[in-house]
């Protein structure tokens, strides 16, 4: 399978640079308790949730063993397809880790970045751009295993309103891949949204109405 070799866009660089020193800048507001807000994902070890304060949606994660709350970013506003911030529709929690997507925009366009964060150690496990094309991408499905491997389905989109022109199935082992292109496991508009699953070292999805599987890269 051939892949495109593209340099990171200004949007991708801006998003990653802002997080190089940690998950997010310090908040002026107090962090909520581990039981606050609306749950986005939960395990015995961790919980991801969103809290609305003064009209602003903020996304947090909490380790149940340490009871410490980490700020993951401002949530993108509901109904805004290209809104900047954490997309609360695609969040996965496995063990003490949370996988989430942040969209950032610049004069070059908008791009999404996939993060895996360990809520117990409060360390970033991985960072990866959402698609090989980087710009105008949209993650529509995400899965995470207990080892910190993350998989997702992302779309390249064009037009206004945006229309999907292709979909990718992508997976990443833990590691900080800032600015490095991703290599799709599968490509095609017939990849079914919501079909992604991760079991052991195998990723599963549906494409063209047929169940597919591939070992993790």
Q: Following DSSP, what letter does each residue of 20-52 receive, concatenated?
A: TTSSSPPPSSPP--TT-SEEEEE-SSEEEEEEE
Is residue 112 within 8 A of residue 101, CB to CB? The reply is yes
- Full-prediction pTM beyond 0.85? no
pLDDT tens readout for residues 159-170: 877 888 899 999
pLDDT tens readout for residues 33-51: 999 999 999 999 999 999 9
Q: Is residue 171 part of a domain?
A: yes
Determine the pLDDT at residue 89: 92
Residue 29's domain comprises 10-215
Q: Alpha helices of the chain — where are they, by DSSP H? A: 10-18
Q: Is residue 35 part of a domain?
A: yes
Determine the pLDDT at residue 82: 54
Domain count, the chain: 1
Percent over 70 (pLDDT), the chain: 79
Give the mean pLDDT of 128-143.
Answer: 85
Q: Is residue 157 part of a domain?
A: yes
Mean pLDDT of the chain: 83
Determine the pLDDT at residue 7: 39
Q: Is residue 4 part of a domain?
A: no
Q: Is residue 61 part of a domain?
A: yes
Give the mean pLDDT of 65-73.
Answer: 95
Is residue 145 within 8 A of residue 139, CB to CB? The reply is no
Determine the pLDDT at residue 162: 80
């Amino acid at each position: 399978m051939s892949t495109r070799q593209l340099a990171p866009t200004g949007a991708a660089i801006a998003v990653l640079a802002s997080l190089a020193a940690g998950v997010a800048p310090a908040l002026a507001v107090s962090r909520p308790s581990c039981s606050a807000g609306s749950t986005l994902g939960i395990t015995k070890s961790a919980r991801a949730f969103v809290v609305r304060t003064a009209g602003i949606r903020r996304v947090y994660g909490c380790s149940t063993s340490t009871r410490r709350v980490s700020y993951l970013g401002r949530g993108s506003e509901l109904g805004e397809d290209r809104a900047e911030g954490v997309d609360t529709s695609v969040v996965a929690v496995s063990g003490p880790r949370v996988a989430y997507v942040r969209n950032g925009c610049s004069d070059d366009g908008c791009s999404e970045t996939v993060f895996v964060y360990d809520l117990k150690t409060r360390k970033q496990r991985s960072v990866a751009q959402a698609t090989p094309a980087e710009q105008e991408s949209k993650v529509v499905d995400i899965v995470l295993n207990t080892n910190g491997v993350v998989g997702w389905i992302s779309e390249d989109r064009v037009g206004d309103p945006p229309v999907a022109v292709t979909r990718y199935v992508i997976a990443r082992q833990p590691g900080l891949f800032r600015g490095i292109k991703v290599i799709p496991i599968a490509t095609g508009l017939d990849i079914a949204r919501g079909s992604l699953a991760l079991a052991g070292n195998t990723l599963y999805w549906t494409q063209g109405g047929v169940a597919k599987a591939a070992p993790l890269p």
